[in-house]
Amino acid sequence: MDYILENLLSEPLTPWLSGSGPEGEIVLSSRIRLARNLKSQPFPGRASAAKLGEIMAELKAVPAELMADDGHEYVFVELEKLSPLARYVLVEKHIVSPNHVADPKNRALVVRDDASVSIMVNEEDHLRLQCLEAGLNLTEAFAKATTVDDIIEATHTLAFMEHIGYLTACPTNIGTGLRASVMVHLPALALTKQMGTMVAIATRLGLTVRGLYGEGTEATGNIFQISNQVTLGRSEPDIINNLNSVVKQIVDKERMARSLLINETPDVLADRVWRAYGVLRYAQSLSASESLALLSEVRLGIDLGVIDEALPALFNQLLVTTRPNFLQNLSGEVALNQAESNKLRAKLVRLSLQGN
Amino acid sequence: MDYILENLLSEPLTPWLSGSGPEGEIVLSSRIRLARNLKSQPFPGRASAAKLGEIMAELKAVPAELMADDGHEYVFVELEKLSPLARYVLVEKHIVSPNHVADPKNRALVVRDDASVSIMVNEEDHLRLQCLEAGLNLTEAFAKATTVDDIIEATHTLAFMEHIGYLTACPTNIGTGLRASVMVHLPALALTKQMGTMVAIATRLGLTVRGLYGEGTEATGNIFQISNQVTLGRSEPDIINNLNSVVKQIVDKERMARSLLINETPDVLADRVWRAYGVLRYAQSLSASESLALLSEVRLGIDLGVIDEALPALFNQLLVTTRPNFLQNLSGEVALNQAESNKLRAKLVRLSLQGN
């Protein structure tokens, strides 16, 4: 089943990047993450190497359990057996976290053939189960996560306490262990300088807004992750409904900002997005952040019907293929320096756009 | 013979913009200008309207005299009979000077069908005769100017004094009345910050370096006019040889700078010129100065074989078609505002580049 891993590393397009799904022109993907721990073992941060090994050994059975339920193929990947580069490609594809690969010994990943279900083993918790859907579809992602969770709970005894809920390594995850998040593309709110207000409102409503690559990263490409902060004292449906309704409001605001741009300053908008397209189509060197910024403008142009030469899926695909480690993986063994990486990135973007 | 004027106003490509000619990848054109005055009349600056009318009347015979010699068609155009816009198109095409059209009453233009010979009547002097050639070809331009001068002198008595030479309204033109100039494209010297030194050297050698549109204009598009300062006390061949040899040295320096760019930093150069091409090809709004700057980079890319999608002649053509008044003339009666003009310019550039 190495081909699953192989595809995951070399194919740019995971299904949740297909550009389809509800509100797909603004919401790229929806994600549900559940934090779970085995009752019989200490949390990974306090576990010895031997204990971590025992946890891995117990959870090796999970792929077979899941396969029996949905018929999809699942693979159990020991991170230590991957090259450092392969690990970073998985980070760029949002399949594992930077923390998870930082010390790969006794860490593993369970992943479904289409990458829409994955479980980090021995990250901060024993199990970090993640389900992804294209567009705004938290309900479907949660339903899928619940199924996976139930299957695991049927065979493994999890750390759970009446009146509190699931126990987790970090108190901020205790209770439901649930993090619901969506990845949204908000170029018009960014262009019209409304993101500051938007972040403040979301924060007051118990949500966190971050950049594309998790905490501390800037929102390059105008792509933001919006997720719940509170996991304790609220039911799962409450958490999901709250996030869902705030995201819908943000989507509306983004739509209004887009209407404003296309109606009030159509020429300025057209000039801006076509210039971005022109630079992407002909540049011979592109940094990761410049290409994200330009791709964001082009995607806005596609969404508003100004640019008709490229497809939404292409934009989403390029979000992944222009990442440094994905590029390095493409180019094979020899380590790329910055200039070479920027050159390869520009070539890849040119080829993609000319193929349209 | 209105079609000559018609072509002059609507066709972008005058022969000296063909992009061919000696050193044609750096020297766009060579120009010889002779200042001449009728002996019997006061200089235009001191002449009454009646006197200016008399001068016009006498010089109306010139087209027929020239036609008899070279078989080309010539037209006598009274500037007052042209629309203001048409006059400014002639300025942009370097056929008349801004001063000449400032007060069009009793001013005229004699122009050959291919625009390579023209005479401003009642500019600063009674006759300002101009001959243009593509590339670095001052000798040919001077030979042509001498022929025209001889034909005029055979029928009209000119203001000339032994030991001094031709008398002119401004003392800086006295003697030969000759201004020899070349229009050069020096993007590599500009990019490598050598233009300051170049201008200083040229000035020490008795030459003047100016921007594309005469005194006081900046060198947008890295296009410079280099001309002689001294007209008195040196023979015509001396003046021309001096300019010719300095220009050849500047051309060599530009070639060296280009070699350096293409050999030392080929990736940086390729990225730069292709980005300029991408913006020109897709922008929806372009100011006159931005388009000149971008066209300059693209032309450099063409000359160095980096860009293979556009022809040198196209670059030269766009130098004219992107000028504000030429654009206005293209668009017909309705006056364009800045935004409309920038939009039309971008459209014209896009169509030109996509046609390739």
Quick check: A275 and B283 CB within 8 A?
A: yes
A116 is in an annotated binding site: no
A31 is in an annotated binding site: yes
B156 DSSP assignment:
S
Which residues have C-beta within 8 Å of that of residue B95, sequence separation ≥ 6? B8, B109, B111, B115, B118, B130
Task: Work out whether strand B27-36 and strand B223-228 pair parallel, antiparallel, or are unpaired.
Answer: unpaired
Q: Are A138 and A128 in contact (CB under 8 A)?
A: no
Q: Does residue B310 or residue B28 have the better pLDDT?
A: B28
- Count the neighbouring beta carbons within 10 Å of the beta carbon of residue A287: 15
| Chain B interface mutation, best of A273, A275, A338, highest count of B Cβ atoms under 10 Å | A275
Query: Length of chain A in residues, anyone?
Result: 356
State the Cα–Cα distance between residues B332 and A136, nearest whole angstrom.
51
Q: Does residue A24 or residue A314 have the better pLDDT?
A: A24
A283 contacts in chain B (CB < 8 Å)? 271, 274-275, 278
Helix (H, G, I), strand (E, B) or coil at A268: helix
Report yes or no: A57 at the B interface, CB cutoff 8 Å: no
| Predicted confidence (pLDDT) at residue A330 exceeds the cutoff of 80 | no
A271 contacts in chain B (CB < 8 Å)? 283-285, 346
Helix (H, G, I), strand (E, B) or coil at B311: coil
Report yes or no: B266 at the A interface, CB cutoff 8 Å: no
Quick check: A284 and B267 CB within 8 A?
A: yes
B193: left (phi > 0), else alpha (psi -120 to 50), else beta? left
Amino acid sitting at position A63: P
B33 is in an annotated binding site: yes
Report yes or no: B285 at the A interface, CB cutoff 8 Å: yes
| Predicted confidence (pLDDT) at residue B261 exceeds the cutoff of 90 | yes
| Predicted confidence (pLDDT) at residue B114 exceeds the cutoff of 90 | no
State the Cα–Cα distance between residues B5 and B113, nearest whole angstrom.
8
Report yes or no: B256 at the A interface, CB cutoff 8 Å: no
| Interface ipTM | 0.79
pLDDT band at A218 (very low <50, low <70, confident <90, very high): low
- Residue B355 is predicted with a pLDDT of 61
Which residues have C-beta within 8 Å of that of residue B249, sequence separation ≥ 6? none
Q: Does residue B350 or residue B10 have the better pLDDT?
A: B350
| Predicted confidence (pLDDT) at residue B215 exceeds the cutoff of 60 | no
State the Cα–Cα distance between residues A314 and A328, nearest whole angstrom.
20
State the Cα–Cα distance between residues A131 and A31, nearest whole angstrom.
6
| Predicted confidence (pLDDT) at residue A216 exceeds the cutoff of 50 | no
- Count the neighbouring beta carbons within 10 Å of the beta carbon of residue A332: 8
- Residue A16 is predicted with a pLDDT of 58
Over residues B53-65, the mean pLDDT reads 96
pLDDT band at A356 (very low <50, low <70, confident <90, very high): very low
Q: At what angle do helices A324-331 and A2-10 cross, to 10 degrees?
A: 120
Q: Name the least confident of A119-128, A155-164, A308-317.
A: A308-317
B180 is in an annotated binding site: yes
Report yes or no: A278 at the B interface, CB cutoff 8 Å: yes
B3 is in an annotated binding site: no
pTM of the prediction? 0.82
State the Cα–Cα distance between residues A295 and A273, nearest whole angstrom.
9
- Residue B342 is predicted with a pLDDT of 93
| Predicted confidence (pLDDT) at residue B231 exceeds the cutoff of 80 | no
| Predicted confidence (pLDDT) at residue A331 exceeds the cutoff of 80 | no
- Residue A78 is predicted with a pLDDT of 95
Quick check: A278 and B282 CB within 8 A?
A: yes
Residue A284's closest chain B neighbor by CA?
Answer: B271
B277 contacts in chain A (CB < 8 Å)? 278, 282
State the Cα–Cα distance between residues A32 and A182, nearest whole angstrom.
9
For A281, which of B267, B278, B285 is closest by C-beta distance? B278
| Predicted confidence (pLDDT) at residue B335 exceeds the cutoff of 90 | no
- Residue A329 is predicted with a pLDDT of 75
**Mind giving me the DSSP string for A129-154?**
EEEEEESS-HHHHHHHHHHHHHHHHH
A285 contacts in chain B (CB < 8 Å)? 267-268, 271
Which residues have C-beta within 8 Å of that of residue A297, sequence separation ≥ 6? A187, A272, A273, A276
A153 is in an annotated binding site: no
pLDDT band at B13 (very low <50, low <70, confident <90, very high): low
Quick check: A284 and B274 CB within 8 A?
A: yes
If 0-12 CB within 10 Å is exposed, 13-18 middle and 19+ buried, where does residue B223 land?
Answer: buried
Across chain B, what does the average pLDDT equal? Answer: 88
| Predicted confidence (pLDDT) at residue B52 exceeds the cutoff of 90 | yes
Q: Are A29 and A17 in contact (CB under 8 A)?
A: yes
State the Cα–Cα distance between residues B306 and A216, nearest whole angstrom.
41
Quick check: A277 and B279 CB within 8 A?
A: no
Percent of chain B clearing pLDDT 90 (strictly above) = 59
Over residues A154-175, the mean pLDDT reads 93
State the Cα–Cα distance between residues B236 and B251, nearest whole angstrom.
22
Place of tokens 């992009």: B19
- Residue B94 is predicted with a pLDDT of 80
Residue A6's Cα: distance from chain center in Å? 19
Residue B285's closest chain A neighbor by CA?
Answer: A271
| Predicted confidence (pLDDT) at residue B346 exceeds the cutoff of 90 | yes
**Computed over its alpha carbons, how large is the radius of gyration of chain A?**
21
| Predicted confidence (pLDDT) at residue A243 exceeds the cutoff of 90 | yes
Q: Does residue A92 or residue A287 have the better pLDDT?
A: A287
Task: Name the E strands within chain A.
Answer: 27-36, 74-78, 108-112, 117-121, 127-134, 160-161, 165-166, 178-185, 207-211, 223-228
For A283, which of B274, B282, B346 is closest by C-beta distance? B274
Residue B66: C-alpha distances to residues A132, A303, B154, B155 (Å): 82, 63, 11, 11
Across chain A, what does the average pLDDT equal? Answer: 88
- Residue A74 is predicted with a pLDDT of 94
Complete edge-to-edge strand list for the sheet that includes strand B108-112: B74-78, B108-112, B117-121, B127-134, B27-36, B178-185, B223-228, B207-211
A205 DSSP assignment:
T
For A284, which of B270, B280, B284 is closest by C-beta distance? B270
A259 is in an annotated binding site: no
Percent of chain A clearing pLDDT 90 (strictly above) = 59
For B267, which of A274, A279, A339 is closest by C-beta distance? A339
State the Cα–Cα distance between residues A49 and A132, nearest whole angstrom.
31
Half-sphere exposure of A310 toward its Cβ, with a 13 Å CA cutoff?
33
Over residues B214-227, the mean pLDDT reads 72
State the Cα–Cα distance between residues A207 and A201, nearest whole angstrom.
9
Which residues have C-beta within 8 Å of that of residue A286, sequence separation ≥ 6? A280, A294, A322, A342, A345, A346, A349
Q: Which helix (H) or strand (E) holds B179?
A: strand B178-185
Quick check: A267 and B285 CB within 8 A?
A: yes
State the Cα–Cα distance between residues B10 and B90, nearest whole angstrom.
10
| Chain A interface mutation, best of B264, B268, B275, B341, highest count of A Cβ atoms under 10 Å | B275
> Residue A149's closest CA among A171, A125, A172, A169?
A125
**Mind giving me the DSSP string for B195-248?**
HHHHHHHHHHTTEEEEETTSTT---GGGEEEEEE---SSS-HHHHHHHHHHHHH
State the Cα–Cα distance between residues B58 and B47, nearest whole angstrom.
15
State the Cα–Cα distance between residues B29 and B151, nearest whole angstrom.
24
Residue B283 sits at the vertex; the CA angle it makes with B311 and B222, to the nearest 5 degrees, is 55
State the Cα–Cα distance between residues A298 and A304, nearest whole angstrom.
10
Q: Are B129 and B34 in contact (CB under 8 A)?
A: yes
- Count the neighbouring beta carbons within 10 Å of the beta carbon of residue B89: 25
B285 contacts in chain A (CB < 8 Å)? 267-268, 271
Residue B194 sits at the vertex; the CA angle it makes with B188 and B195, to the nearest 5 degrees, is 90
A-B Cβ pairs (cutoff 8 Å, strict): 52
| Predicted confidence (pLDDT) at residue B30 exceeds the cutoff of 80 | yes
Q: Does residue A141 or residue A331 have the better pLDDT?
A: A141
pLDDT band at A35 (very low <50, low <70, confident <90, very high): very high
| Predicted confidence (pLDDT) at residue A19 exceeds the cutoff of 70 | no
